[in-house]
């Protein structure tokens, strides 16, 4: 399968003159290690999600034998996605991340773990979400998205009413959406918008339901840095 944005570490950022406001920051920071950089040529082309601009993306085509389809939006360093993929080899794990260092890290995890069920989109997740058929996903995971916590930047937050509705539409009945943040304001912002989204039910009855990590949660290096203003808050929703 061709890479959705075939570029190597060091290539210039593609222009983004049109489309939604960017909901993420930098594309690349430190130099990518040679062994990881090589995986952009040797591994990524074989596990890349097809370019969403070329038409619909059916998870059943990405991995025909998969029993479930999961999507992680903004997988960071890839530890969480790789761990979930290792636990559930029967599920195709679609990961979207525009930060090239994070893509390189996940490629290393996939290579070293011999993971066969990971598919990568090295760009903005919103194009993939739009290309996925309605009712095609069993789980959606959004862990620690950029908070854009200054009021004038709130419009850049990933969770907006239209996108929340789009995510709900992609879930199967009974499918789950998990949103995790360590910023109180973003948790309230996201909760308000998800609660207003038809078809989603918040799975919380008491404070522990959003303050205690779910049993299958995987702690990442980012989470351990404690960069937000609160302990992680876990918002879990079900498609009804």
Domains of the chain: residue spans and CATH: 34-239 (3.40.50.150)
Spatial neighbors of 224 by CB under 8 A, at least 6 apart, are none
Query: What's the whole-number average pLDDT of the chain?
Result: 90
pLDDT, tens only, 110-165: 999 999 999 999 999 999 999 999 999 999 999 999 998 778 878 989 999 999 99
- Between 54 and 6, the more confident residue is 54
200-202 vs 233-239, strand pairing mode? antiparallel
pLDDT (mean) for 170-177:
98
Which of 91, 85, 20 lies closest to 62, judged by CA? 91
Active-site residue set:
146
Q: Is the pTM of this model over 0.85?
A: yes
Q: How confident is the model at residue 8 (pLDDT cuts 50, 70, 90)?
A: very low
């Amino acid at each position: 399968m061709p890479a959705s944005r075939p570029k190597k570490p060091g290539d210039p950022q593609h222009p983004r003159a049109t489309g939604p406001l960017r909901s993420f920051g930098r594309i690349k920071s430190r130099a990518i290690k040679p062994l990881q950089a090589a995986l952009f040529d040797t591994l990524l082309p074989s596990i890349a999600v097809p370019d969403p601009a070329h038409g619909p993306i059916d998870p059943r085509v990405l991995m025909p034998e998969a029993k479930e389809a999961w999507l992680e939006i903004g997988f960071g360093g890839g530890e969480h996605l790789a761990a979930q993929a290792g636990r559930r080899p029967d599920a195709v794990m679609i990961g979207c991340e525009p930060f090239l260092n994070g893509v390189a890290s996940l490629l290393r995890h996939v290579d070293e773990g011999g993971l066969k069920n990971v598919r990568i989109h090295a760009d903005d997740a919103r194009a993939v979400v739009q290309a996925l058929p309605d009712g095609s996903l069993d789980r959606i995971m959004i862990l620690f998205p950029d908070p854009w916590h200054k009021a004038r930047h709130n419009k850049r937050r990933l969770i907006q009413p239209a996108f929340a509705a789009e995510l709900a539409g992609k879930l199967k009945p009974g499918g789950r959406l998990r949103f995790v943040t360590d910023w109180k304001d973003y948790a309230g912002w996201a909760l308000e918008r998800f609660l207003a989204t038809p078809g989603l039910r918040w799975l919380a009855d008491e404070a522990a339901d959003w303050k205690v990590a779910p049993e299958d949660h995987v702690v990442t290096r980012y989470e351990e840095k404690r960069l937000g203003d609160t302990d992680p808050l876990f918002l879990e929703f079900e498609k009804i």
